[in-house]
Every structure is written in structure tokens, then in C-alpha cells.
Amino acid sequence: MEGLKKSLLVSLWFMFLVLPIMGVFVDSIENVVIWRLERVLYVGICTFFLSYLWRFMIRKKEEGRKVDEESGEEQATVLSRIFANPAVYYPLLAGILIFALLFPELFSMYQVNIMISALIYVVLGLGLNIVVGLAGLLDLGYVAFYAVGAYSYALMNLYWGVNFWFALPIGALLGALCGILLGFPVLRLRGDYLAIVTLGFGEIIRLILENWGDFTHGPSGISNIPRPDFFGLFTGLSSSIHFMYYMMIVLVIFTIFIVNRLKNSRIGRAWQALREDEIACQAMGIDKVKTKLMAFALGATWAGLVGVVFAAKTSFINPASFTFLESAIILSIVVLGGMGSILGVILGALVLILLPEYLRAFSEYRMLVFGATMVLVMVFRPQGLIRDVRRKIDIKAVRKALGESNE
């Protein structure tokens, strides 16, 4: 009852606050004042429910924290239980894959186009997850490698007529090369200093693309970039978009496989050791220079690769497509999904890219709803939607197995 009273007071206060902004419209032509109190009422109702939900979730969070302190270990979430249970996980994975394959047949071309964009950000998020989530290197200029891949295809096609399939590996290699070039100057930097340098690198690439007008066409951009073709089978607009969708599905699956193998490999464990304690990492004999350069190069490879796909999808690019805001969105995908978590990054990308599109029904309130959703997630799930679960070894079980084998 106390919570309801507080939520009601908050909603009344908020209605009073927005009354001069949203409740009054002055028509200067007719010299009349129009009251739109229904808008204020909508805001008040939404605020009441959000305030009550906020208090309810805070209370649940505190109860869960007490349970964790009493038991001495963190409680498993619903998602972690689902992914830990093979009887649920594999049928769910098969259902998602079937839905993904049937998606273009079930929905309009507009929806397919949005999903292609979301899949592009999934690959970008997984690439940045190598640098930020696994290696712990804060990169705010990741969009620069994305731009390198996109412009490599656009310029090679413009000047030398290189097609999409030849440009795809070249874009990835150029992205990796730029990652190494960025990695060398920042080997001794960490934290805020590393973030500032990578931010500067991203801006340098954008300014070069914008001011080197004779070669890159500057702010005017490059248009008529051809979409990928496969032996002349996909020539129409609709069939070309469907082909790009299925190509992105294959690319996402390939990226998940490679990133997962890297994460559980020797270099992946070296990245995680570097993230936790750089000095202890060096003391264990890990080459810090090689490990950091490998993280930057492999992370940039995926950005360059998917940059080529982006240029082919939009058929027009200019430097305005590669601003710092793009880097911030990709970083938000990694943080929102869960740093180091592959499934979390995929879910974070789908939520962050698809949610604003499907909230268009709320018209001018959609970004307000989207922002409130992000705040709720980061307050109540600071570790991300799906946190990274480390592999654990049960020492007692190992000793028991060794004892039985000795006997």
C-alpha cells in the first residue's frame, strides 16, 4: 500500500511537471490556447506503472542479493537455466533456426531489411566483443574499421570494377591491417587513455574520408554500389534482398563459431588473463604485445568484413554513416548484452536495433520508451542480459575420479 501511494505521488508530480510542455498548445495564428490534457493523463498513467514496476524490481533485487549473501554463491537466472539444460536448449535453437530461415517468407521486405541491419550489428558486436569483452581494451573508434571495409569495396568497385566476392576478403584484410596499425601506438595504454586514442583514430579515418574528395568523393559519398550476385540467380530487388538476408545468416553462424573457438582457445584464455590483471598475465609468460595486437586485428577483421556487406546493402555510403554514434551503439550492444558473452551480444544487438523500429507505433514517445527500457535493463542487470559464464572445474569430482582410477 505504501508503494502504491509513493507511485501515485510520483505520477502526479510528473504530470504537473509536463503540463506546461505537453498539455498546452498556443495557436499564434488564431490567438487561442488549446489544452491537451489527455496527453498529460497518458504520461501520468505510464509514470505510475513505471514507478510501481521500478519499486517492485528494486525490492526483488534486494531480496535476491540477500539470498546470494546467505548462500555464498550467485543464483542462476532463468536464461542461464535454459541454456544449461540441453533438453530445452537444442529444441529452442532448432526453432529459432527454422524461424530465421522462414522469416523472408512470413514478413514483408521492409522487415527483412531491418533484420539484415540487425544481423550486421550482431557481427559488429561479436567483433568488438573480442576487443572489449574478452581482452578488456576499451575501443571507442571501432567504427573506423567498419568504414575501411565499406569504402574498400566502394572504391575498388568504382575505380577497378572489383565485385563483391573479391572485395569481401580484401575488406577483412584491410580491417585487420588497420587494427594492427592502431594496436602498435596503444600497447602501453589502458582505460581512459586507450579510449581517447581509439576515439581519435576513428575521427581521423572519418575526416580523411570526408576531406579527400578527389579520391573518396568526400561528403557526397559513393552511390550505385552493386549488390552481391551469385551466378546471375538473384537479379531483382526482392530476390537480392532475400539473398543478402540468407548470406548474413550464414555469416553470423560462421562468426559465432569462430569467436566461440577463439574464446575457448589458448589465445582466448590469454585475452581474459590480460583483462583481469595485465601484470600477472606478463608474469605467467604471456606475450602482451602479441596478445593485444591479435585482439585488435581479429576484432577489426569482422568490422572490415561486415563493412563490405553494409556498402552492398545500402548501395550508397558517405562519411556521415561512420560517426562516433555508431561506435557508441556497437559498444552499447556489447555492454547491454553482457561483456564476453556471445549469446548476450546477439540478444543485445537484436534488442538495441529492432526495439526502436518496432516502437514506431508510439510515434514521438518511442525514444522515451526505448531510453526507459535501457535504463531499467542497466539498473537491474548491470552484468548484461546474459552474463558470461566461466568454465569451472569441480575439484572434488576430479579427485574422486583420480582416486577411482588409482584403485
Query: 109 near 241, Cβ under 8 Å?
Result: yes
pLDDT score of 389? 67
- What's the length of the chain? 407
Q: Where are the domains of the chain?
A: 1-69, 108-380
- What cell does 349 get? 544487438
- 3-class SS at 26? strand
pLDDT score of 70? 54
Torsion of CA 84, 87, 91, 96, to 10 degrees: -10
- 3-class SS at 346? helix
**Among 310, 157, 321, residue whose Cα is nearest residue 226:** 157
DSSP conformational letter for 223 = E
Q: Which helix (H) or strand (E) holds 35?
A: strand 32-35
Query: 316 near 107, Cβ under 8 Å?
Result: no
- 3-class SS at 379? helix
- What cell does 74 get? 550467485
DSSP conformational letter for 133 = I
Instruction: Tell me if the pTM is above 0.85.
Output: no
Residues of the chain with pLDDT under 70: 1-58, 60-86, 361-367, 369, 389-398, 401-407
pLDDT score of 309? 95
**Among 133, 123, 79, 170, residue whose Cα is nearest residue 303:** 123
Cα 222 to Cα 211: distance, rounded to the nearest angstrom: 14
Query: 141 near 182, Cβ under 8 Å?
Result: yes
The distance from CA 215 to its chain's CA centroid, rounded to whole angstroms, is 31
**Among 260, 287, 253, 263, residue whose Cα is nearest residue 135:** 263
